[in-house]
Structure formats: C-alpha cells, structure tokens
Amino acid sequence: MNATLLGFRCAQCGQTFAPDEAQYTCPRDGSNLDACYDYAAIARAVDPRAIAATPDRSAWHYGVLLPTTVPGHGLLPPTPLTSFGWSPLYRAPRLEGSMGVRAIWLKDDTRLPSSSFKDRASSMVIARALETGVTTICAASTGNAASSLVTLCAGTGIRTVIFVPQSTPEGKLAQILIHGASVYAVEGSYDDAFELAVQASQTFGWYNRNTGVNPYTREGKKTAAFEIAEELGRKGEGEFRTSSPLHLFTPSPFRAPDVVVAPVGDGNIISGLHKGFKDLLALGWIEKMPRFIGVTATLAPALYRAWQSGTEHIETMPSSTIASGISVDLPRDGIMALRAIRETGGVFVEATDEEMLDAMGVLARDAAVFVEPACAAVYVGLRKALQLGAIQGDDEVVLQLTGSGLKDVKSALAATAGRIHRIQGRLGEIRD
Ligand SMILES: *Cc1c(COP(=O)(O)O)cnc(C)c1O
Ligand SMILES: [Zn+2]
C-alpha cells in the first residue's frame, strides 16, 4: 500500500474507508469506490519535475499517485508487468487537415503488452494481488480485460480464471488461452459473465478484477492521463507556471490538452482518464481540466440514455454491437463516467456499427493505426463532436486508442473495401 493513499470514498453515499477496509464496492449501497490521496502531502514532498526526469519510463514512475506498486519495483528486471505503460503519443497531421482541427494526438495503447488499454488496470490489480498474497484472480470480460489480466499474470505464479461471453472475438480468446488461463465461455452476455465472476469470487475466495467494482482498475487506468500530460509538456508549448496555491510559481512539466475523446463501455476508461487529470489539477501540476467526449455504441444504449435523462439513474439495456470492447448492458462504472462528461462540460455521442467499421479504415489509412471497432469509435466521436460544436477548430485534441485491430480480424476484413486478387503467379495476370 502506498503511504499517500488515504482510503476509498463511495461515489454514492460518500462514506470513506481505510485502505484495507474496503475491497470492492460500498457495503452500504453497492456503489463503486474511489481512491483518495493526501494531495497536500504529495504537493509538499514531490517536485513534478523529478517525476518527469526519472529514468523509469513505465507508468510505475507515478508511484506516489498510485494505490500500490509492484513489490520490489525498481529492483526487478523489466517484464511486461514491471514496465507497463508509456505508450506512444502520435500526432495525426492528416486528420488535422481533413477535420480542420489545430492539433490531434493519438495516445496509442494498442501498443501495451496485451495490445489494449486494459493493461493499465490489470497491472494495478496484479500489484495489489502480489502485495496481499493472492494466488488466484478471476475476471469477467468482453475479451480485453481478460487477455490483459492473463498476459500480465504469466510468470508471476498467479492463476487466472476467466468468464467471457461466447461472442468474444477469436483473437482475444487465443490470447487468453495461450497464456494459460482457465476459461469459461458463458452462454449469454458480458453482464451474465460479470455476475458469475462476482459469485465465483465470493464462493471460491478468488480476487476479482471485474472492471469498476474493483477500485484498483480506475487507478491503473488514470496513468494514461499522467502520460498524456507529461508527453504534451515535453512536446508542447514549453514550460508554464502553475497558479495553484499548492505549487505557487513552480514550473510544471505537465500540460493538459483541451479535449480528450475516449470510447465508453463500462465507463472505467473515461472515469480513469478523468481521475488522472483531477489528480494533476488538485496538485497544481496542470492549469485546466480537459473536456471529455465519451463515445458509446448506438447498439449499447444504457449510458447514453442516462446522459440524455440528465440524471445518474442508469437502466440496464440489452447491447448487440459488433464492437465487443464497448458491448455492455449495464455500465459498471457508469456514474463516474457520467460525471467525467458533466463535470468537464463535455458530451456523449453515439457510434453505429457501420460508422465504427468505416472509422477503422480512416484511422488505418490516414493515421497509420490499426484498431478494433470499439477503439475506432473515437474517430466517430471526434467527427460528431465537431458537428455539435463540442470540439472547435482551435482545440488540441487527444484521441485515446484502446485496442488493436489484430484482436478482431473478422471486423477488420468487414471494414475494408480492399480486395485480394488471387492469381497463379504470372506477371501477365498483374497486367490484366
Ligand atoms: C474495454 C474497452 C473499452 C471501454 O472501456 P470501459 O472501461 O469499459 O468503458 C474501449 N475499447 C476497448 C478496445 C476496450 O477493450
Ligand atoms: Zn455508499
């Protein structure tokens, strides 16, 4: 446990718990918990320039703002678990031209160890498991949470038990199998797998990684925000002086973009990104909070409906999108996702399956990234938010990439108009 972690606060009733008092959700109302830190102590003790200057280029170098770290980190050899994070931040000039936007960056988490953003959450959960002597971790997943957990547990001695819906794409299943998990493909939806994982965790005493209900998932996911801010600080418009009373006139190496666009299923990625920028703002290490644009699938409508209703009441609605990564009936971190949008003045937009497939092609051809449908939703979000006026031409925008196209080759083949010319191998056939 990290000394700066004060404990966890319930998102609903506000009750607080000591770090070891709460494992999953609030015992009173079942809502998700949010980790709290001693920002004043961190601001006093830590110079953000020291963080940016550390030679450790893994997400663990934000240890002071994390609930835990891998035991012995820094002494251990670099494995996928001990060196996760620090994915590339690319500029996309061609998209800037076609969209008429000043700056578009792609935070490419398809390049993490298991090729999805989920590695950020899994790393934090596994670190907690190692800290507490857990021997088995279970998880429900639409595919990536599981493939990530299983990848990063390999070589640690921790066993994994996975619950997925039978619709999980083959690429993700292959990852889960080859790293050596016990896999149960449930007849039903991700939500059915989710409930079963909760019950199995209670019955067999396994540590549960389920997204959202395990508060370490959001804490792992927020590292993407730290990296974005640190990289923009380095690549951007030079040092500025923060105006926070905590850090009067200390030059910060961090810089926030104007807008962050992320795909939304359970809502844990967007709430994690929001949490990361909230941490940096509380410390006075950035000057402003970005606006968040959340992109849900039209065929997974629960969260979008709640957003339209103007309340925090989220009703379960059946999902049927091909975008497996965001195919959820009941978003498990939905309330925090709604707050990420509402508190930052952002919007939710919806993406149809057809729009996501089309966006896969655009991102592949114009921005040189190969992503799965759920991830391609960020391009649809960018386009629609521009139409709505929620993004303006002079904004600096970060598109959060979340999963590799190689995980769902079937969708990639459906997304391309390209055709393979089958030939016998003679030059004449090419001329024809
Ligand atoms: C899980 C996932 C998402 C959505 O993340 P949530 O935390 O469920 O909102 C988006 N894209 C991909 C590729 C994913 O695997
Ligand atoms: Zn509560």
Domain locations in the chain as residue ranges: 1-37, 81-115+217-415
Per the CB < 8 A criterion, the answer to whether 408 and 391 are in contact is: no
Q: Which atom of ligand 1 is nearest to 371's Cα?
A: 13
Res 42: pLDDT: 96
First to last CA, the chain: 67
CA 18 / ligand 2 centre spacing (Å) = 14
pLDDT class of 336 with cuts at 50, 70, 90:
very high
Which residues, at least 6 apart from 57, have a Cβ–Cβ distance to it below 8 Å?
Answer: 83, 86
Q: What is the mean pLDDT of the chain?
A: 94
Is the pLDDT confidence value at 3 over 90?
Answer: no
pLDDT category of residue 200 using cuts at 50, 70 and 90: very high
pLDDT in tens, 157-166: 999 999 999 9
The DSSP output letter for 263 is: E
Alpha carbons 432 and 425: distance in angstroms, whole number: 12
Q: Is the pLDDT of residue 319 over 80?
A: yes
Neighbours of 60 (CB within 10 A): 23
Q: Residue with the nearest Cα to atom 7 of ligand 1?
A: 268
Ligand 1: which atom is nearest the Cα of residue 217? Answer: 7
Give the span between the Cα atoms of 421 and 354, in whole angstroms. 25
Helix axes 144-153, 170-178, angle to 10 degrees: 20
pLDDT at 296 over 60: yes
In a 13 Å sphere around the CA of 213, the CA atoms on its Cβ side amount to: 21
Q: Which residue has the tokens 């079963």?
A: 196
By C-alpha distance, which of 122, 104, 105 is closest to 113? 122
156 burial level (CB within 10 Å; 0-12, 13-18, 19+): middle
Task: Tell me how far the alpha carbon of residue 430 lies from the centroid of ligand 1, in angstroms.
Answer: 42
User: Which residues fall within 8 angstroms of residue 167, CB to CB, at 6 or more apart?
Assistant: 324, 327
Q: How high is the pLDDT of residue 250?
A: 55
pLDDT of residue 242: 46
**What pLDDT shows up at residue 241?**
42
Statement: residue 370 has pLDDT above 70:
yes
In angstroms, what is the span from residue 57 Cα to ligand 1's centroid?
Answer: 24
Q: Is the CB of 267 under 6 A from ligand 1?
A: yes
> Is residue 215 packed enough to be buried (19+ CB in 10 Å), middle (13-18) or exposed (0-12)?
buried
How many CA atoms lie less than 13 Å away from 183 in the CB half-sphere? 22
Closest CA to 417 of 381, 376, 350, 364: 364
More confident residue, 368 or 2: 368
Tokens 């001990």 identify what position? Answer: 82
Ligand 1 close to Cβ of residue 232 (< 6 A): no
Q: Enter the pTM of the model.
A: 0.95
Amino acid at 30: G
CATH architecture assignment, domain 81-115+217-415: 3-Layer(aba) Sandwich (3.40)
Determine the distance separating the centroid of ligand 2 and the alpha carbon of 22, expressed in angstroms: 11
- Tens digits of residue pLDDT in 206-243: 999 999 899 999 999 999 999 999 999 987 654 444 44
